A and B are shown apart, each in its own frame.
Chain A
């Protein structure tokens, strides 16, 4: 299983973290699940970070924005397949806070490290299991031309 993303969207995702540096960026990945359990990203929905109290080390997507994105995706026959955010001057690994605040089992959580304003690494993590036993697993990120 992998998260497949067109290179143009991948670059936009990575660039978003540079734009918001030293603050965290965040957004929603809209696309589709395939029968084998893989996911394909078709649209990148950039969101604002509502954690204005601590934007350098916290992110939160407005529920109103999330609901609107989900509604438009589902009514168009697409789906939310994951989310992304950046880690300014911090590794591209999930944190304890990332896991505690993750509730979308089956979805990808993509994290990009941005060091001194420049994007370094982008990794994807798949959230598995029910709330009480949830955990992240490393997930392959497949970047395609289109």
Chain B
């Protein structure tokens, strides 16, 4: 099925400058795979060399962190939205 992935500002240059990309997937993992298949330059910005999501990259299915669902195997539905959002933090 087709679902939407929201692309954060810093990753747009590697995603054809688009903020919303439609992918075909049954799971979150398949959605991310289709995303990097469409936009290969995104891969190294999302994943580390061992293939895991970079530590500061959050991936949410609607309002839920996929790390607390079934990670890549989390199933998706037609109306779901996958969001990618790098963390925001800092300090003195």
Chain A residues at the B interface, C-beta cutoff of 8 Å: 24, 26, 28, 51, 54, 57-61, 63-64, 66-68, 70-71, 74, 79-81, 83, 85, 87-88, 90, 94-95, 97-98, 100-107, 109, 130-131
Contact = CB atoms under 8 A, between A and B. Distances in A.
Interface of B: 6, 8-10, 12, 19-20, 45, 56, 58, 60, 63, 65, 81, 83, 85-92
Contacts of A97: 90-92
B63 A59 contact: no
Given A64-B65, A104-B9, A107-B9, A70 B90 contact: no
Q: Sorted from nearest, which 4 A-B pairs have the closest CB atoms?
A: A58-B91, A103-B86, A98-B90, A105-B10
A70 B85 contact: yes
A6 B90 CA distance: 25
Contact of B9 (A60, A90, A106): A106
B10 A68 contact: no
Given A71-B6, A80-B8, A104-B10, A66 B90 contact: no
B10 A70 contact: no
Given A59-B91, A63-B65, A63-B87, 19 more contacts: A24-B92, A54-B91, A58-B89, A58-B92, A61-B87, A66-B87, A67-B58, A67-B63, A70-B83, A87-B92, A95-B92, A97-B91, A100-B90, A101-B87, A103-B10, A103-B86, A105-B10, A109-B90, A130-B45
